[in-house]
Amino acid sequence: MLILWLASFYLLGLGVLILVARDRAHRFLAAFAQTTRANWIESLLRMLVGMAFVVAAPRLAHPLVARSFGLFLAATAMLLVIAPHLHRRFAAPAVASVAPFLPLLGVGSIILAILLALYLF
């Protein structure tokens, strides 16, 4: 459960960063998948959170949803490791396309953080 709480705090911090330091947040998001190290870190964190959902699922309100989401995160983490070139090719245009909507993404990140925290109670 600690990992899921940390994921909630990450989403909250990301949302606040986006709202108070938009350029810095954009650089942070643009750095994803741009190096082998960044790709591995993202993959490992995604796998960690995914497995945390799977392990915590029996104790959560909707275990099938939590387990399925966790398995989805784990599977996509494996894809990032297997095909980092595809991740790199997808990430740059994706970040560029959401740049005009960063404030909305920030609010959405904060909302997701709150919803995840409420789900964990």
Domain boundaries in the chain? 2-120
69-92 mean pLDDT: 91
In this predicted structure, the answer to whether residue 84 has a pLDDT above a threshold of 90 is no
In this predicted structure, the answer to whether residue 18 has a pLDDT above a threshold of 90 is yes
pTM: 0.88
CA atoms of 119 and 61, how far apart (whole Å): 7
CA atoms of 95 and 34, how far apart (whole Å): 12
Nearest 5°: CA angle at 1, between 38 and 91? 25
| Confidence label for 25 from pLDDT (cuts 50, 70 and 90) | very high
Percent helix, strand, coil in the chain, to 5, is 90, 0, 10
Q: Residue 61 belongs to what H/E stretch?
A: none
Radius of gyration for the chain, computed over Cα atoms and rounded to the nearest angstrom: 15
In this predicted structure, the answer to whether residue 33 has a pLDDT above a threshold of 80 is no
